[in-house]
Structure 1
Amino acid sequence: MAVLVDVEEVRTLTRVANHGGLTGEAREERLQTADRVVSKLIAGGHLKTVTVVTSVNRCPTAVVPIEEVERFEQEFVSLFVLAKQRGRHFRAVKKELDTAGVKPAPDPDQIGVTYYRRREIAAKGTANRQPAGKGIQVTYT
């Protein structure tokens, strides 16, 4: 006795729609930071998660919606990403921001990475500064 089934037909009938959020490595890669930092951002309420049923095994899992990641990236920038964009060492960029009075947010001691609010960088006039001897200009909107 045997049963012949069309595997593709069964797969389409048993899988749920893709949730469209980011999990694990995808979050780390998109935010350019470690999993422990992402976990602290979630725990601190800086990144919101939703619980969805995975499309493969139907187990509930927490994901960060793409829209939430985009909102976070529009509001915050890490010191290292900012330094990379400016083509300068992160310590030089940090010193410039400290001199301008731009404070990290959220608290880097709690998160493990230094983030700044983009609007504060722009408000203090540090967003468009060019590094000495470089032709790089970073503009935030």
Structure 2
Amino acid sequence: MAARLKSLPNLLILDKKLQWVGKLASAQGYAAVLVNGDEIKELVREPAPDAATVHELVGRFNTSVRVIKALITGGHFTTVTVRNAINRCPMRAIPSADLAAFMQDFVPLFELSEQLHVHPRVLKARLAEQGVQPALDPKKHYATFYRRADIQQLDLPARSPAPQE
């Protein structure tokens, strides 16, 4: 593999695919060849897959790996194997279409509470008062998700303080 990696810049030079190639005056042979590493990265990287990894979703949902894995296990996300754009290793990812469909139907309690500037416990209690229960079992999914259709027509608070314990 090392020989193949060493020959890649050489192939790019011979095929005239690099815009800039320099020569180091203090060296000879292959060691004297200078190339722009960023230019090589752009030429050899594959396009990013139209999918998100579990760890990317942890950041998007502001949640844990356990929640995302529970959503996968519960059949809410399908996974596909895609090649990593940088190292080309296979990785498990959730297609963007699945993520968009899920987000169109469901909203995490935490996201909803941030949008409404309401403490999650207060919001959960108000939703329960109005007859809205979580769409997914929080004990199985380790987080609370509601159907967007269930909460769209409700009279939800604009702002409330954190609950007193």
Q: Check if 1:117 corresponds to 2:140.
A: no
CA contact (8 A) 2:54 2:68 kept: no
Q: CA RMSD in A?
A: 2.6
Q: Check if 1:129 corresponds to 2:156.
A: yes
Could you say which residue in structure 2 is the equivalent of 1:31?
61
Structure 2 unmatched runs, 5+: 1-5, 13-36, 161-165
Moved over 4 A (4+): 7-11
**How has the CA–CA distance of structure 1 residues 132 and 61 changed in structure 2, closer, same or farther, with 3 Å as cutoff?**
closer
Question: Which AA in structure 1 matches 2:158?
Answer: P
Which digits, 9 at most, give the CA deviation of each residue in 1:14-68, with x for residues without a partner? 6543212111432111122111111111111111221112223332211112222
In 1, Cα distance between equivalents of 2:71 and 2:45:
31
Matches within 5 A, 1:9-28: 12=43, 15-28=45-58
Which digits, 9 at most, give the CA deviation of each residue in 1:61-117, with x for residues without a partner? 111122222211111111111111111111111111111111112110001001111
Aligned equivalent of 1:43, options 47, 64, 73 = 73
In 1, Cα distance between equivalents of 2:40 and 2:124:
56
**How has the CA–CA distance of structure 1 residues 90 and 58 changed in structure 2, closer, same or farther, with 3 Å as cutoff?**
same
**How has the CA–CA distance of structure 1 residues 61 and 98 changed in structure 2, closer, same or farther, with 3 Å as cutoff?**
same
Question: Could you state the TM-score of these two structures normalised by the residue count of structure 2?
Answer: 0.66
Could you say which residue in structure 2 is the equivalent of 1:80?
110
Question: Which AA in structure 2 matches 1:129?
Answer: L
Q: Tell me, what secondary structure is at the counterpart of 1:73? A: helix
CA contact (8 A) 2:118 2:157 kept: no
In 1, Cα distance between equivalents of 2:41 and 2:136:
47
Could you say which residue in structure 2 is the equivalent of 1:64?
94
In 1, Cα distance between equivalents of 2:54 and 2:93:
8
Could you say which residue in structure 2 is the equivalent of 1:101?
131
Could you say which residue in structure 1 is the equivalent of 2:24?
none
Q: Tell me, what secondary structure is at the counterpart of 1:51? A: strand
In 1, Cα distance between equivalents of 2:159 and 2:86:
52
Taking every aligned residue pair, what percent have the same amino acid on both sides?
A: 34
In 2, Cα distance between equivalents of 1:55 and 1:86:
37
Structure 1 unmatched runs, 5+: 134-141
When the two structures are aligned, how many residues end up with a matched partner? 128
